[in-house]
Amino acid sequence: MSNINTKIFMIAVIASAFVISTVAVGTSVFAQNDTMTMSGSDMTMGNMTGGNMTSGNMTDATTVKAVDPSKSIEKEFWINTVHIDGKTNLNATSTHPAEKPPANSTIPTGGGFKITEPNNVGDWEFRSFTFAPGQIVVNQGDKVTLHFIGVQGPNHVIEVKGVDTFELKRGQIHTVSFTPNSPGTITYICNVHPPNMVGQISVLPKATV
C-alpha cells in the first residue's frame, strides 16, 4: 500500500509539475500572442494606412481620362529617322560566336537595307532603315502636325502621301501639318530607303456625338 501511495504521490507531483509548467508556458505563449495580436493589429492598421496611400497612388497612376475625340483635335508627333545596325565579326569570342554574311542574300532591292562585307578583321554588319515611330493613330478631322527629325542617315527624301514631299538631312527638322478629312491610312515613306523605311498613319472615323 505504501508503495502504491508513494507511486501515486510521485505521479501527482509529476503531474502537478507538468500542469504548472504547461500553465507557465501557456501564460508565456498567451502573453506573446497578446503582444503579437496587438502588434499585429497595429501593423494591420499601419498596413491599411499604407494600403490607402498605395491605393491612392495607384489611382493616380492608372486614372484614365475620358477623351472626346471630337474635342481633342490637336495631334503632334516627332518622327525620327533611324537605322538599326546588326554588327558582328568572323572571330569567335566567348560571348559572340563567329558569323558569316548569308551566302544567298534575301535582302530586297532598294536602299532600305545594307549589308557591309567583312573587312580585314572580319567585321561586317547589316543595316535596316526605319522611322520611329512607324505607327501613328489619329482621328478624322484632327489637326495633325508631324515633325520629321533627321537623326540617322545623311539624307532622306520623305513623302507623306498626298500631303508633302521634302528632303531631310541629318540635323534638320521638317514639319508638316494637315487635317485628314476621311478615315483610312496615310503612308509616309522615304524614297531613298525603300521598301522598309515606311510608316503608317491610321485615321479613325470621327466619333458620332
- In the complex, the smallest distance separating the C-beta of residue 75 from Cu ion, rounded to whole angstroms, is 23
Q: Are 149 and 173 in contact (CB under 8 A)?
A: yes
Q: Is 192 an interacting residue with respect to Cu ion (CB under 5 A)?
A: yes
Q: How far apart are CA 178 and CA 145, in angstroms?
A: 7
Q: Which CB, 146 or 203, lies closer to Cu ion?
A: 146
End-to-end CA distance of the chain: give it in Å, rounded: 105
- Decide if residue 156 touches Cu ion (CB under 5 A): yes
- The CA-based angle 54-57-61, given to 5 degrees, is 135
Residues 73-112 that bind Cu ion (CB under 5 A): none
Minimal distance, residue 151 CB to Cu ion, in Å: 11
Do the beta carbons of residue 155 and residue 163 sit within 8 Å?
no
Report if residue 149 touches Cu ion, rule: CB under 5 A: no
Residue 149 Cβ, how far from Cu ion at the closest point, in Å? 12
Q: Which of 146, 197, 201, 203 binds Cu ion (CB under 5 A)?
A: 197
* Gap between the Cα atoms of 186 and 160, Å rounded: 7
Contact 45, 89 (CB under 8 A): no
Listed in sequence order, the residues at least 6 apart from 202 whose beta carbon sits closer than 8 Å to its beta carbon are: 135, 136, 137, 138, 185
Candidate ranges 37-45, 84-92, 150-158, 174-182; the one touching Cu ion (CB under 5 A): 150-158
Among the candidate windows 8-16, 20-28, 57-65, 190-198, which touches Cu ion by CB under 5 A? 190-198
190 counts as binding Cu ion under rule CB under 5 A: yes
Of the ranges 113-121, 170-178, 182-190, 198-206, which one interacts with Cu ion (CB under 5 A)? 182-190
CA separation for the pair 156, 190 (Å, rounded)? 6
Residue 160 contacts Cu ion per CB under 5 A = no
* Interaction between residue 186 and Cu ion (CB under 5 A): no
Query: Which stretches of the chain bind Cu ion, using CB under 5 A?
Result: 156, 190, 192-193, 197
